[in-house]
Structure 1
């Protein structure tokens, strides 16, 4: 196997196509975060799917889809990165089909998360201000379920087509992470720009826009109307959305600014290091997402009973005695 120290060319590739964080540090960082995150994601998904009350709440459906897409990245994409590092910087097994699957999960599902997140941010306006639009089964089917089904079909069909059946010849670099993470369709004048703009830049912009406008609308309504019961419902929906949106946009905004600048003619070398770090931070976003769900979905927070877990037994007994 070819290691990073075997030639000057490999060192040059490493400097250009990998972040400067040493591979052992990246390995342990990914491993120590991914394992508990997978456990947390499984716990959250189990309760969201098995608990009928949680499963029927429309606001949880977007979270479920985001968790499933992220869970796939955690089970396939991140372990492949760990394998790449453990094999001294070589993709094993070095086969085109592995690279294609890796690209499909890494590029397609992460952009898919951004697209679903953009829809979820828009839909939150409907759930907060126009809940009558989802008051009947037919309305829920048209307003809620159809858009999610259409978006999921689009994500899988588009990325399956451009990655497995591209209008060009892919180049697989087995000595770089994610086989160089550059499917050839990205160089296509139409497909590349469509993917960058419609599947990444636009959804990220919409997430920011919808979250900010939601906060403004809720603030204005809260000042104008004195409805504590309705405000509690709105507060719950907002608390779920805002932290998740901040998590995604904190990485996606700088990443997409660089992508947009490159589309506008900025030299590819400019900002390349920042883009590599943002690509790596996308893994952290995926791994932190289940913990945010656990912390900001109130029903799940109650199920974990973390306060009781960390309180001494004597203090718990005293609290129970006082309550009785």
Structure 2
């Protein structure tokens, strides 16, 4: 084979491999997500716990990524090209994908900050105006801001549609504001992607330090058991985000700072696809960190302890 044929064949193998891996991980992730939703629906006390409310919203956004946007990526990798190859399709595809990306990131950063309040100052949530201001409003912002931002910079941004690359995933990430407006593209990359990850990392590191310091100062093992669980839960989920996003964010920063070709092919073929790790593995982490959910699933699938039914047996006989 000549160079062109080798390149095409390599791309074909890479796309088929990605398709197989993503599909293999998507199906159990969707099933687990549905089971988690059923569990929360059947257990209102657990569902209404303050530290679970934001997690449920995050899981809903994650489920929408699994069921709405990931199939579009699977379709591309199965075909090897964007279909339908139209500017309208690419515009709405990137709008939906980017919106879910940033919504998920902002939710994770907000949860990381709010967890400090839940662990150390949970009494403030008993005050209605503080609960609305510091809990509900930030979550509402996470759900509305990304949608509004990308509606203006993707849907309403003036563009002729000739910049799209129909041979690459997400049409080559070639939205007009990214291609023609470097200032807006840099702000989007730094504020909408980099900033939530920095807040996420710093908030989790600070939370661990505060928990260890507070536990040494106040010896209350019963009280700190729940707080320790919340801290471990947040740390594990945040680590998943940092592991998935850090490679592409670091490469993106280097490219923005003056070396636009730095690891460009690796970024496109591998690092950007690592973002899917979040939506594919988040349900698994939630199952592993919720003991009540594990017990419910064991009973559901007949793996839990069976109850012994004790009753009175009445023997009826006839006298001879």
What TM bracket, shorter-length normalisation? 0.7 to 0.9
> So what's the TM-score if we normalise by structure 2?
0.86
Q: CA deviation at 1:10?
A: 10
| 1:104 alignment counterpart | 95
104, 117, 127: which is aligned to 2:108? 117
1:226/1:195 Cα in 2 relative to 1: closer, same or farther (>3 Å)? same
54, 59, 62: which is aligned to 1:70? 62
The answer to whether the Cα contact below 8 Å between 2:154 and 2:175 also exists between their aligned partners in 1 is yes
Counterpart CA distance in 2 for 1:216 and 1:21 is: 46
| 2:277 alignment counterpart | 284
1:201/1:242 Cα in 2 relative to 1: closer, same or farther (>3 Å)? same
Query: Bigger CA drift: 68-77 or 164-173?
Result: 164-173
1:21/1:281 Cα in 2 relative to 1: closer, same or farther (>3 Å)? farther
Pairs within 5 Å for 1:162-173: 162-170=153-161, 171-173=163-165
Q: CA deviation at 1:270?
A: 0.9
| 2:22 alignment counterpart | 30
| 1:132 alignment counterpart | 123
1:241 equivalenced with 2:234 (yes/no): yes
Q: CA deviation at 1:309?
A: 4.9
1:8 equivalenced with 2:4 (yes/no): yes
Pairs within 5 Å for 1:1-324: 8=4, 11=7, 22-87=14-79, 89-170=80-161, 171-187=163-179, 188-265=181-258, 267-276=259-268, 277-305=270-298, 309=302
The answer to whether the Cα contact below 8 Å between 1:66 and 1:116 also exists between their aligned partners in 2 is yes
Counterpart CA distance in 1 for 2:78 and 2:128 is: 51
Bigger Cα Rg: 2
1:212/1:47 Cα in 2 relative to 1: closer, same or farther (>3 Å)? same
1:28/1:223 Cα in 2 relative to 1: closer, same or farther (>3 Å)? same
The answer to whether the Cα contact below 8 Å between 2:244 and 2:277 also exists between their aligned partners in 1 is no
Counterpart CA distance in 2 for 1:49 and 1:192 is: 41
Query: Bigger CA drift: 273-282 or 128-137?
Result: 273-282
The answer to whether the Cα contact below 8 Å between 2:164 and 2:172 also exists between their aligned partners in 1 is yes
Counterpart CA distance in 2 for 1:55 and 1:114 is: 22
Q: Which runs of 5+ in 2 are unaligned?
A: 310-320
Q: CA deviation at 1:28?
A: 1.2
Q: CA deviation at 1:149?
A: 0.7
Q: CA deviation at 1:307?
A: 11
Map Cα deviations across residues 21-40 of structure 1 (whole Å, 9 max, x no partner). 62222111111110111111
Counterpart CA distance in 2 for 1:104 and 1:293 is: 28
Query: How large is the Cα RMSD of the aligned pairs?
Result: 2.7
> So what's the TM-score if we normalise by structure 1?
0.85
1:137/1:10 Cα in 2 relative to 1: closer, same or farther (>3 Å)? farther
Counterpart CA distance in 1 for 2:15 and 2:274 is: 15
The answer to whether the Cα contact below 8 Å between 2:255 and 2:261 also exists between their aligned partners in 1 is no
Counterpart CA distance in 2 for 1:68 and 1:7 is: 45
The answer to whether the Cα contact below 8 Å between 2:32 and 2:283 also exists between their aligned partners in 1 is yes
